[in-house]
Amino acid sequence: MASKPRITKAYTLGFAAAITMVCSILLASAATLLKERQDKNIQLDIKYNILTVLGLVESEDHTPEHLFKIYDDKVKSFVVDLKGELVEGRKAEGVDPRKDPELLPVYTRQENGRVVAYCFPTQGKALWSTVKGYIALEEDLNTVKGITFYSHGETPGLGGEIDKEWFTSSFKGKTIRNSAGEIVSVEVVKGKIRDGTKDIEHKVDGISGATLTGNGLNEFIKTTLEKYEPYFTIVRGGSS
């Protein structure tokens, strides 16, 4: 009689260990089997965001195959360094900003062999999270063609509104340079832009209750553009 509790305890522990092992094997197998699909979905999301800011797609109403084809046909990507010079042997898709801070990915929209728009990844701290996105400029490297924020952890209904179309569309047509040709970026103001606001061409309406999120966007978007300025200068032929 005294041995029964020990047998029961041993059986319970053994059963739990067996279940844990089986679950671990199943999870590991599922992760391995799904990795290819997960990697494809990640690449699809990245390319969709790039295509969106470059004005090549306006909705998700495309098959993955169609999106990949548009990307392959219309987008050319490469990497430049902090001096704006081309880096051979590196792919834009393979640059990790945490590991490769000196490498800058560039994505260009091609039409009949000519570059008509440029796209650059941008990311930084907002209020609660690291925000990741892309910003695209027109051929003049001054006018914003589009912007997207595809990854963040900001508060839903407040800072979380940064990924909504009503907010991102307000950046379109804004300019990043002042009359002297210096980068001033685009500023998310506190509240709404008022009539007679100075330098309105560089400003967009803020989000109610999300001033700190807007401040974060202002800081890292400008930092991104300043990093690319040597490349912009080369593209413009050295003119300021």
- Residue 24 neighbours by CB under 8 Å, 6+ apart: none
Task: Please report, in tens digits, the pLDDT of each residue of the chain (240 residues total).
Answer: 455 555 576 677 777 777 887 777 777 666 566 566 666 678 888 999 999 999 999 877 788 899 999 999 999 999 999 999 999 999 998 999 889 999 999 999 999 989 999 999 999 999 999 999 999 999 999 999 999 999 999 999 999 999 999 999 999 999 999 999 999 999 999 989 888 788 899 999 999 999 999 999 999 999 999 999 999 999 988 554
What is the model's pTM?
0.82
Question: Three-state DSSP class for 87?
Answer: coil
Give me the residue label for tokens 């506190």: 190
E strand or H helix that includes residue 225:
helix 211-235
pLDDT of residue 32: 63
Cα–Cα distance, 93 to 105 (Å, whole number): 8
Cα–Cα distance, 182 to 60 (Å, whole number): 36
3-state SS, one letter per residue, for 123-189: EEECCCCEEEEEEEEECCCCEEEEEEEEECCCCCCCHHHHHCHHHHHHHCCCECECCCCCECCCEEC
Side-chain-side CA neighbours of residue 36 (13 Å): 2
pLDDT of residue 23: 75
- Residue 185 neighbours by CB under 8 Å, 6+ apart: 176, 202, 218, 221, 222, 225
pLDDT of residue 152: 95
| Number of neighbouring beta carbons within 10 Å of residue 215 | 15
